[in-house]
Amino acid sequence: MTLNELSSFFNSFLKNEEYDRDISLNGVQVQNSAPDTKEIKKVAFAVDACLETIKRTIQADAQLLFTHHGIFWGSCDTITGSHYNRIAALIQNDVALYASHIPLDANNLYGNNFGMASRLGLKDTQPFGTWRGMTLGAIGNLEKPLTADELIAKAFPHGNHSLHLLPFGKEKLSRIAIISGGAGEDVEQAIEAGADAFITGEVGHEQYHVAEENGITLIAGGHYETETVGVQLVKAKLEAETDVEGVFIDVPTGL
């Protein structure tokens, strides 16, 4: 498949045009030398378009890097320093970059939040939580109530050393709200939605008292860790439906 064909493939289910309030420039952020004709046989998937993931994409002999966090966020930055090094590495090695921010958070089949809901086995899952007028999270009910520790074990089965737990909810948790990444302040939306627990990536000092005073359990599993879900689901879809190979590049930040 060519870059343009892959871009159409991704957009067929991510639907970037529905998220025009996103600050990320979603879609192809850096093209290759021949987007209409050059064959792409391998796509690397990663959370961040940092220099490390770009270098490892090149080492893996992938021709396209698909990330959740791209390198363009709604304004034209000067191409200096780290920004230059990333773009230079892509262009010099003819590697394209595709980014999907809120579209990947919100997708109800391949996104970070519905993906986490599926991992937990939530029932009656519905869209939840808004940011800039866009709904991006998920909320649903566990078939069998779990303790906070049991919930964490299901949400992060490979372990998570950056996890923070504020266990102010019920002993057994049933209704779970999820927004990945830096959404700690959205615990208030989870409270309004009647959630027993809220799973996100990062939590701030201010959210401690909000969670305690409202009797909700807050689980912050790390910005990075909660956003590895979607890119791996898109990788699996690509491999199942095309002849293109995928590789996941894991560069955890511990945050």
Q: Are 46 and 248 in contact (CB under 8 A)?
A: yes
pLDDT > 90: percent of the chain:
95
Give the whole-angstrom CA distance, residue 98 versus residue 106: 17
- Token digits for 208? 């401690």
CA 33 to each of CA 62, 76, 100, 132: distance values in angstroms, whole numbers, following the listed order: 14, 21, 21, 35
Q: Is the pLDDT of residue 160 over 70?
A: no
3-state helix, strand, coil in the chain (%, to 5): 40, 25, 35
What is the per-residue pLDDT across 198-218, written as a single tens digit (0 to 9) for each? 999 999 999 999 999 999 999
What is the per-residue pLDDT across 162-194, written as a single tens digit (0 to 9) for each? 789 999 999 999 999 999 999 999 999 999 999
Give the whole-angstrom CA distance, residue 5 versus residue 63: 14
Q: Is the pLDDT of residue 39 over 80?
A: yes
Q: Where are the alpha helices (DSSP H) in 74-222?
A: 81-92, 102-106, 112-120, 148-155, 187-192, 205-214
Instruction: State the pLDDT at residue 162.
Output: 73
Give the whole-angstrom CA distance, residue 76 versus residue 85: 16
What is the per-residue pLDDT across 45-104, written as a single tens digit (0 to 9) for each? 999 999 999 999 999 999 999 999 999 998 778 999 999 999 999 999 999 999 999 999
Q: Are 129 and 186 in contact (CB under 8 A)?
A: yes
What is the per-residue pLDDT across 117-156, written as a single tens digit (0 to 9) for each? 999 999 999 999 999 999 999 999 999 999 999 999 999 9
The residues that bridge with 166 in the sheet, in sequence order, are 218
Give the whole-angstrom CA distance, residue 217 versus residue 197: 4
Q: Is the pLDDT of residue 158 over 90?
A: no
- Helix or strand holding residue 142 (H, E): strand 134-146
Mean pLDDT score, 16-42: 96
Instruction: State the pLDDT at residue 254.
Output: 87
The residue written with tokens 């209409």 in the block is: 36
